Chain A
Amino acid sequence: MTRLDTLRGPAEPLDHNARTIAALAVNPGCDRRALLDAAGVDKQKTAVHVGFPAPFGQSPFAITRAKSFDALVKANGCAHLLRLLRDTLDLSISEASYADISDVGGNDDHHVRHTRTRALLKRAATDGDGAGTLFDHPLLKLTVAGHEVYLEPAVIAFQIEGRFHIVEIKSFAVIDDQADAGQVAAAARQSAVYVHALRALFAAEGLDPERVSHNVVLVCPKDFANHPTATLLDVRQQLAALERQLSRLPRIDRILDELPLGITFDLETQSPDEVSKAVATVDARFAPECLASCEMSLFCRAEARDNGSTDMLGRAARDELGGIESVPAVLGLADGSRLPSTEQLEIAEQLRYVRRIYTEAVA
């Protein structure tokens, strides 16, 4: 039993998915999220337990819609998908092989599935033509913050002429060849995670990672019908951003070393108070953007408010304030009631200047 298992308690670990990794990469400085995710703690339940249930999560309608569209595209041996790939990427008629890796002989253990994913993809990559075209539900592994996580995919890996592509099926509509920019950006960020993980797998198997294309096939409903259409999406930019963020993520070991021994987030044995205290021992870096992507955000916001932290003013304001961590400190430096330390001299002078302009303006 590792230290992370102790933190989680007896509950089953939650899987990472592209959504969580994309969210993690958006806020790389947050130790709390990195640790909770690495330990596979159910953040939603934890937030409810400590009294800050997040009004956050996918709507059940959206999930049902996404599932039914996904089923439609993959129905009848991926009939729709094959048509789209033949149209957009000139897939030859003879390439129609399909392998489902959502379980291996009725066994859906992660390790078994991952081993099979590797075996199938390696065979497809080395044997050349006819050794596999579509691979549904490949289970990929990714090193996040020095810790290996399985990536439960909602995608298909697809091979054409020795190059592998990620196929991402999304249920937002492409109307008149235009899709919602925000949705496409989110899809691109998530696809980038899969491309990254697939490249990591190729590298681990001694294959050229560049054989995984940076062009992702995005499948969406066309116009107002439920008829799927496909477009190629270049995710090079997202991929570069993701790689940089992942490399900057604090090492989990470093965070663990700083934690007091015997601490746990076990929801069954610990009272809400104890869990809040345990969670509070890990540093968070709250930003207003967290509210859109993290289940713990309301807890962190309340904590930031209690501490009078400058975090809740947003990243831009926090960075402008040059490392002063609390709002009372900022005000104190501005009105001269608090003496600046040597490294605060410059920012203190600027604050006093701003205060002078402000008082003149409102006087």
Chain B
Amino acid sequence: MEASGIHRFPVGPLIRCGTVELDALEKRIAELRSEIRATKAAGDHATVRTLRAELRTAERAWDDALEPEPEPAKAPLLPVREQVHQALTLLGVPTATKMIVTVNEAFFAGHITTSQLTSLRRDEEKSFRGSPYARPYYLCAALTSELLSPARGLLAVSTWPMQNRIIGPLSPRADFLTSATRIAEHIMRLTGAGEDASPSAYRLLTRMAQNIPGAVDGFDQADPTQVIAAAGAELAVHEESDISHRGEAAQRAERQLNEVTQLFGAGLKTARTA
């Protein structure tokens, strides 16, 4: 009963009122104090308890109003697909959802989760089928080089050249090296501009560098220039064969596939769009 009594007084809406409303709150607190004294003198203990609870709420609201405005940036500024696009543009290669989430978190302070990305490709495909090219870009599939079917778990951007969206046998490794290079370059851009990348960005780079020969010593934090050099050296080994493979498949894709399957892949089974 008492708990419900608290809400009779309209203090709640005053809580997020900012500095302008401090006066109103102070007035309300003074009123409540005198009211409590009067009620106490009258011996109505039940009402005294309710009023004191109300007073405490008002005082807390007054404290909160003194604090600076909470950062509204916690709420996502960009829709999920924009955030994914941002991460993919940084990486520049078809990427698995987990990596997209990590990059988004490390560089764009985003808060997307992998589960938000599960149906993304399907939604994009539906949208494209509904009204083709209505959006400036689509998040689409990477295509396997042999069958031109959608590669499992990878997202790409429709505006990239077809060749970049093909996954040949060497492409997973080449793309991994490219993305490590792109991340290192981005960290250097940030430090060059006088900012510093977040610790999670360095952690990500270090983790990737540990799997590139010569990119990092032991468990130290990776150095971007060293990573770029090491990844470049390994990439040079794979590049020629990978690019010729991708180029050939890209030509085949452009010849054989229609505009929907060029983006979302052909399969032995019809696309799972149900």
Contact = CB atoms under 8 A, between A and B. Distances in A.
B147 A79 contact: no
B272 A93 contact: no
Given A106-B149, A106-B150, A98 B269 contact: no
A330 interface: no
Contacts of A83: 210-211, 213
Interface string B131-148: 000000000000010010
Interface string A269-312: 00000000000000000000000000000000000000000000
Interface in A90-108: 93-94, 96-100, 102-107
A203 B96 CA distance: 37
B190 interface: no
B173 A132 contact: no
Contact of A96 (B144, B147, B170, B266): B170
Contacts, number: 72
Nearest to A133: B169
B217 to A, nearest CB: 14
Contacts of B96: 75-76
Nearest to B144: A105
Contacts of A99: 169
Contacts of A93: 213, 234, 237
B56 to A, nearest CB: 44
Contacts of B271: 106
Given A76-B99, A130-B241, A86 B176 contact: no
Nearest to B241: A130
B268 A96 contact: no
A196 B265 CA distance: 36
A76 B176 contact: yes
B169 A132 contact: yes
Interface residues of B, number: 31
Nearest to B173: A96
Nearest to B236: A93
A318 interface: no
Nearest to B149: A105
Contact of A86 (B98, B169, B213): B213
A34 interface: no
Given A78-B173, A94-B237, 14 more contacts: A75-B99, A77-B171, A79-B208, A80-B211, A82-B173, A83-B210, A96-B170, A97-B170, A98-B173, A105-B147, A105-B268, A106-B149, A107-B268, A130-B241
Interface of B: 96, 98-99, 144, 147, 149-150, 152, 169-173, 175-176, 179, 208, 210-211, 213, 234, 237-238, 241, 265-269, 271-272
26 contacts: A71-B98, A75-B96, A76-B96, A76-B172, A76-B211, A77-B171, A77-B172, A77-B175, A77-B176, A79-B173, A82-B211, A83-B210, A83-B213, A93-B213, A93-B234, A93-B237, A96-B173, A98-B169, A98-B170, A98-B173, A104-B268, A105-B269, A106-B268, A106-B271, A107-B268, A130-B241
The 8 nearest A-B residue pairs measured at CB: A77-B172, A106-B267, A105-B149, A97-B169, A96-B173, A79-B211, A105-B268, A107-B268
